[in-house]
């Protein structure tokens, strides 16, 4: 009996791994994993996912933004749905596990329940979110925002690199953008949303733990900054008489690093750094840089950005350099519901895994769904130093098997009807 049980479990993990590789064939660039919104590769993947959902005993629908939604009916039609899923678009030259694990893992688990004739007193929906990364139209989380009812109509005017608007790309893919509001889930219809995702970082790997429970998804603030000093001859202007924009930017950057290093789970990154028209023999008069600050705790992030803004002012006064700091993006953190985190903890303990909680520095679909339902996430360890958004992204089959065990245990103990009292 236990041998059959173990065989069934390992068959699930084998299927998940095989399908991750099969789905990687739907790519825009040979030899790379690139699948952006509504391209032929993207539509091919959607068709394949829908077929696997049907094979697993689910009814399948596609909504107006191209989300593929598989529904495994429960025994109580009135019960709110347990929703799970993740995204099937990728960054350019990304990995094959990011997003896809959170779609393919529940499909295989549901297939195994379906074969055993097992139903739950609540329906389960697996959502393959059509767009999360924001690559093609520079607008992220289109799929989860549509379901959350927070899709912004203005992004329909965004164009891709070929100048095609999102609106026209949708129509060409037989989607009806006028129906996007109808894709929103009714309030109270989702008991919980749980997302399984690779960690995309090195924490679990370094601690030799296969799985982690997410406490919160970090909020983020992004800025574009400009420093304007005085360009001058690199040979003739004495050091004490310079107004070097790049050195002001450098002092600022080191402050960002030092300020963010003080608090665990607070991170600050300057990812773009340009000296327009810079030359070897010219003192930089102009520097443009980006700043991205994230934290699981909004108060920590806001305290940091306040300090960073004050320090920018101080540096610029001292160096007689002008600066502007424009906020380009801001999103609050999404806290994972306590009762759902405890559900993961209990499942991990029953399976015999150590419980490790950690915040998510990366954004995820769950963040958008948090607007309408309690959310939680389970992280699965990555290999190769935890690298992601990179072809070197990896995940072990044993870890996928454990994640499937934990997910199945979680669902088998889930109580969709007592959630409203627990969310208070």
Shortest distance, position 98 Cβ to Zn ion, whole Å = 4
Structure tokens at 241: 């008489």
CB 230 within 8 A of CB 285: yes
Torsion angle (degrees, nearest 10) of CA 304, 305, 307, 311: 130
Taking the least distance from each CB to Zn ion, the nearer of 98 and 160 is 98
Shortest distance, position 377 Cβ to Zn ion, whole Å = 11
Given the rule CB under 5 A, which of 99-107, 119-127, 320-328, 409-417 is the region that contacts Zn ion?
A: 99-107
Taking the least distance from each CB to Zn ion, the nearer of 99 and 201 is 99
Shortest distance, position 87 Cβ to Zn ion, whole Å = 6
Taking the least distance from each CB to Zn ion, the nearer of 43 and 389 is 389
Alpha helices in 320-396 (DSSP H): 338-351, 365-369
Q: Is 393 among the residues that bind Zn ion (CB under 5 A)?
A: no
Q: Is 89 among the residues that bind Zn ion (CB under 5 A)?
A: no
Shortest distance, position 277 Cβ to Zn ion, whole Å = 38
Q: Is 99 among the residues that bind Zn ion (CB under 5 A)?
A: yes
Shortest distance, position 135 Cβ to Zn ion, whole Å = 12
Given the rule CB under 5 A, which of 7-15, 96-104, 185-193, 366-374 is the region that contacts Zn ion?
A: 96-104
Site for Zn ion in 208-247 (CB under 5 A): none
Task: With both helix axes pointing from N to C terminus, report the angle between 397-412 and 338-351 in degrees, rounded to the nearest 10.
Answer: 120
Single out the residue of 416, 389, 413 nearest to residue 92, CA to CA: 389
CA distance 188 to 191: 7
Shortest distance, position 192 Cβ to Zn ion, whole Å = 19
CB 334 within 8 A of CB 141: no
CA distance 366 to 359: 13
CA distance 243 to 76: 71
Given the rule CB under 5 A, which of 9-17, 41-49, 97-105, 163-171 is the region that contacts Zn ion?
A: 97-105
CA distance 71 to 229: 60
Q: Is 94 among the residues that bind Zn ion (CB under 5 A)?
A: no
Given the rule CB under 5 A, which of 6-14, 37-45, 92-100, 299-307 is the region that contacts Zn ion?
A: 92-100
Shortest distance, position 76 Cβ to Zn ion, whole Å = 32
b or e along 213-226 (b: 16 or more beta carbons within 10 Å of the residue's beta carbon)? bbbbbbbbbbbebb
What secondary structure letter does DSSP report for 183? G
Beta strand ranges found along 350-414 (DSSP E): 357-360, 375-380
Count of residues that interact with Zn ion, criterion CB under 5 A:
2
Taking the least distance from each CB to Zn ion, the nearer of 36 and 323 is 36
Taking the least distance from each CB to Zn ion, the nearer of 99 and 343 is 99
Q: Is 98 among the residues that bind Zn ion (CB under 5 A)?
A: yes
Q: Where do contacts with Zn ion occur on this chain (CB under 5 A)?
A: 98-99
């Amino acid at each position: 009996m236990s041998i059959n049980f173990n065989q069934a479990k390992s068959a699930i993990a084998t299927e998940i791994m095989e399908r991750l590789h099969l789905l990687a064939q739907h790519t825009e660039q040979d030899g790379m994993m690139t699948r952006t919104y509504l391209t032929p590769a993207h539509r091919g993947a959607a068709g394949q996912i829908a077929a696997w959902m049907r094979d697993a005993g689910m009814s399948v629908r596609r909504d107006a933004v191209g989300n593929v939604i598989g529904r495994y009916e429960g025994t109580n039609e009135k019960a709110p749905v347990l929703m799970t899923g993740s995204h099937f678009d990728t960054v350019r030259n990304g990995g094959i596990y990011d997003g896809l694990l959170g779609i393919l893992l529940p499909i295989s688990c549901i297939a195994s329940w379906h074969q055993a004739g097992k139903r739950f007193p609540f329906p389960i929906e697996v959502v393959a979110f059509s767009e999360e990364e924001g690559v093609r139209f520079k607008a992220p989380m289109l799929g989860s925002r549509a379901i959350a009812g927070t899709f912004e109509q203005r992004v329909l005017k965004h164009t891709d690199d070929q100048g095609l608007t999102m609106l026209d790309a949708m129509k060409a893919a037989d989607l009806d953008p006028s129906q996007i509001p109808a894709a929103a889930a009714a309030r109270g219809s989702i008991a919980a949303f749980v997302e399984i995702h690779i960690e995309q970082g090195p924490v679990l790997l370094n601690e030799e733990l296969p799985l982690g429970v997410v406490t919160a998804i970090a909020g983020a603030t992004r800025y574009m900054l400009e420093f304007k000093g005085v360009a001058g001859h690199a040979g003739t202007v004495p050091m004490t008489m310079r107004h070097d924009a790049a050195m002001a930017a450098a002092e600022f950057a080191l402050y960002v690093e030092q300020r963010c290093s003080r608090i665990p789970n607070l991170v600050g990154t300057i990812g773009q750094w340009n000296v327009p028209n810079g030359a070897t023999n010219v003192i930089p008069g102009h520097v443009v840089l980006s700043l991205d600050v994230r934290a699981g705790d909004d108060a920590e992030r806001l305290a940091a950005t306040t300090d960073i803004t004050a320090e920018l002012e101080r540096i610029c006064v001292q160096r007689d350099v002008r600066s502007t700091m424009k906020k380009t993006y801001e999103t609050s953190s999404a806290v994972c519901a306590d009762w759902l985190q405890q559900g993961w903890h209990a499942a991990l303990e029953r399976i015999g895994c150590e419980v490790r909680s950690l915040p998510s520095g990366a954004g995820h679909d769950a963040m958008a769904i948090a607007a309408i339902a309690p959310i939680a996430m389970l992280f699965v360890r990555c290999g190769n130093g935890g690298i992601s958004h990179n072809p070197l992204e990896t995940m072990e089959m044993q870890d996928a098997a454990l994640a499937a065990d934990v997910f199945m245990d979680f669902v088998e103990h889930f109580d969709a009807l007592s959630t409203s009292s627990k969310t208070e």
